[in-house]
């Protein structure tokens, strides 16, 4: 039986897809995960994982020599770990924390696959692509990839957590009196959602009867937003992190969200049209291009953070609810895009790739 190591870490955007890959492959292969301390908070005890922490070389220029030494040590640790466990294949979800294991795998002639859920090739994946066998991605027009590597692209439908496939899609054909809005600020730039989007929701509540399920950054924000919504009689539930969020929210009408690849892929599958507000400081502007992919399919609304204010966003949301033709067209397009995205198809696709010579 082939032994496969999935290396991941950092944000949920890296880790959550790695868990989907693990679940897809675990019945046919011996699969394990390595992650860093940041990524471990997204992984429960159902998964076999090992911690290998890797320093961010450029986090602080003044301690670069120290971080460089730690980085070189992490390559040695990775080499010993890979050799001891006799892995045949490495699957990397990108990020700087994956580089030592990718470099060590190359030295040991371990077959490497890289996974890129974003519409822009990440910097670590761009480096690893030189010696990787394939890049697994969602978009054949992925940005940042050299023409000489286009033959390495292996297309898949968005890889979702297995639980997502168990839930019914949002098939509502008309709005109820209470409009249900899901707000997902993500792990980056969520403060803007805490402050700006919450005020906007309070204004919208004067025009529409709404119910809100909203991600917040911390307890202080939760207390402040709770008070704002209570004063404006907005029915609401607030949370910080919930890995079951989108399965809870499958019957919500609309999402206001950052555009991390995992989040908007799950919204798409569940047929929840969304207003995407990309995090403006994301590396290589990848959140914009993630959302643009869906906007071009007429599946979402895309708004840049610098271009919005409370009034024009309130106006947009009110128009979505009052003039629903565009909303239901987007919902129809989401259904069409995701209809072939099944657990079985994803499994067949990946297993076929892994079993190639």
State pLDDT tens for residues 51-76.
Answer: 898 888 777 788 888 888 888 999 99
Q: Are residues 228 and 316 in the same domain?
A: yes
Per-residue pLDDT, 244: 66
Higher pLDDT, 205 or 65: 205
What CATH number is attached to the domain comprising 127?
3.40.50.2000
Is 320 found in the same domain as 291?
A: yes
CB 243 within 8 A of CB 236: no
Q: Are residues 224 and 125 in the same domain?
A: no
Give mean pLDDT, residues 148-154.
94
Q: Which domain holds residue 258?
A: 165-338
The total of structural domains in the chain comes to 2
| Local confidence band at 163 (pLDDT 50, 70, 90 cut-offs) | confident
pLDDT for residue 12: 77
Does residue 247 carry a pLDDT above 80? no
Q: 36 vs 247, which has greater pLDDT?
A: 36
Residues 155 and 273 in one domain: no
| Residue 188 predicted with pLDDT over 70 | no
Residue 289 in 3-state DSSP?
helix
Q: Tell me what the mean pLDDT of segment 258-267 comes to.
A: 91
Confidence of residue 94 (pLDDT cuts 50, 70, 90): confident
Shortest CA distance to 89 belongs to which of 111, 116, 114, 115?
A: 111
Determine the average pLDDT of the residues in 160-169.
Answer: 84
Looking at the predicted structure, is the pLDDT value of residue 95 above 80? yes
Q: How confident is the model at residue 191 (pLDDT cuts 50, 70, 90)?
A: confident
| Whether 9 and 78 share a structural domain | yes
How far apart CA 133 and CA 115 sit, in angstroms, is 11
Q: What's the confidence (pLDDT) of residue 190? A: 77
The reported pLDDT for the residue numbered 62 is 82
Same domain assignment for residues 127 and 257: no
Residues 153, 74, single domain; the answer is: yes
| Confidence tier at 302 by pLDDT (50, 70, 90) | very high
Do 152 and 181 sit in the same domain of this protein?
A: no
Residue 141 shares a structural domain with residue 172: no
Q: Give dist(CA 93, CA 91) in Å, integer.
A: 7
Provide the CA 265 distance to its chain's centre, in angstroms.
7
Do 282 and 145 belong to one domain?
Answer: no
pLDDT bucket at 246, cuts 50 / 70 / 90: low
For 21-43, the pLDDT digits (tens) are: 999 999 999 999 999 888 888 88
Residue 217's pLDDT is what? Answer: 85
Please indicate, yes or no, whether residues 120 and 139 belong to a single structural domain of this protein. yes
52 and 111 within one domain: yes
Region 84-107: mean pLDDT is 94
- Band of the pLDDT at 1, cuts 50, 70, 90? confident
Calpha distance 33→204 (Å, rounded): 44
Spatial distance between the Cα atoms of 185 and 258, rounded to a whole number of angstroms: 6
Q: Quote the pLDDT of residue 243.
A: 63
């Amino acid at each position: 039986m082939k032994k496969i190591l999935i290396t991941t870490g950092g944000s949920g955007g890296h880790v959550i897809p790695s868990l989907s890959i693990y679940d897809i492959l675990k019945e046919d292969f011996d699969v394990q995960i390595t992650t860093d301390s940041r990524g471990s908070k997204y992984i429960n005890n159902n998964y076999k994982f090992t911690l290998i922490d890797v320093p961010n070389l450029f986090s602080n220029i003044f301690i670069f020599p120290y971080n460089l030494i730690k980085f070189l040590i992490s390559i040695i640790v990775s080499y010993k770990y890979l050799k001891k466990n006799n892995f045949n294949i490495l699957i990397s979800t990108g990020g700087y924390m994956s580089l030592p294991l990718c470099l060590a795998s190359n030295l040991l002639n371990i077959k490497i696959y890289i996974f890129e859920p974003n519409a822009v090739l990440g910097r670590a994946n761009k480096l690893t692509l030189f010696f990787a066998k394939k890049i697994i991605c969602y978009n054949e027009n992925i940005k940042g990839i050299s023409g000489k590597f286009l033959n390495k692209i292996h297309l898949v439908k968005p890889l979702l957590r297995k639980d997502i496939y168990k839930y019914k899609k949002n098939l509502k054909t008309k709005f109820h009196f209470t409009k249900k809005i899901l707000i997902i600020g993500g792990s980056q730039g969520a403060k803007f959602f805490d402050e700006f989007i919450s005020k906007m929701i309070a204004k919208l509540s004067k025009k529409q009867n709404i119910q809100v399920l909203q991600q917040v950054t911390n307890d202080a924000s939760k207390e402040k937003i709770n008070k704002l919504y209570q004063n404006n009689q907005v029915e609401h539930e607030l949370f910080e992190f919930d890995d079951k969020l989108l399965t809870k929210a499958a019957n919500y009408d609309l999402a206001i969200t950052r555009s991390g690849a995992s989040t908007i892929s799950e919204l798409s599958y569940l047929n929840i049209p969304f207003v995407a507000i990309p995090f403006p400081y994301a590396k290589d502007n990848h959140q914009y291009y993630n959302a643009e992919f869906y906007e071009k399919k007429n599946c979402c609304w895309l708004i840049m953070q610098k271009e919005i204010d409370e009034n024009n966003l309130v106006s947009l949301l009110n128009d979505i609810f009052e003039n629903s033709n565009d909303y239901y067209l987007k919902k129809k397009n989401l259904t069409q895009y995701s209809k072939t995205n099944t657990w079985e198809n994803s499994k067949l696709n990946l297993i076929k790739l892994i079993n190639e010579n």
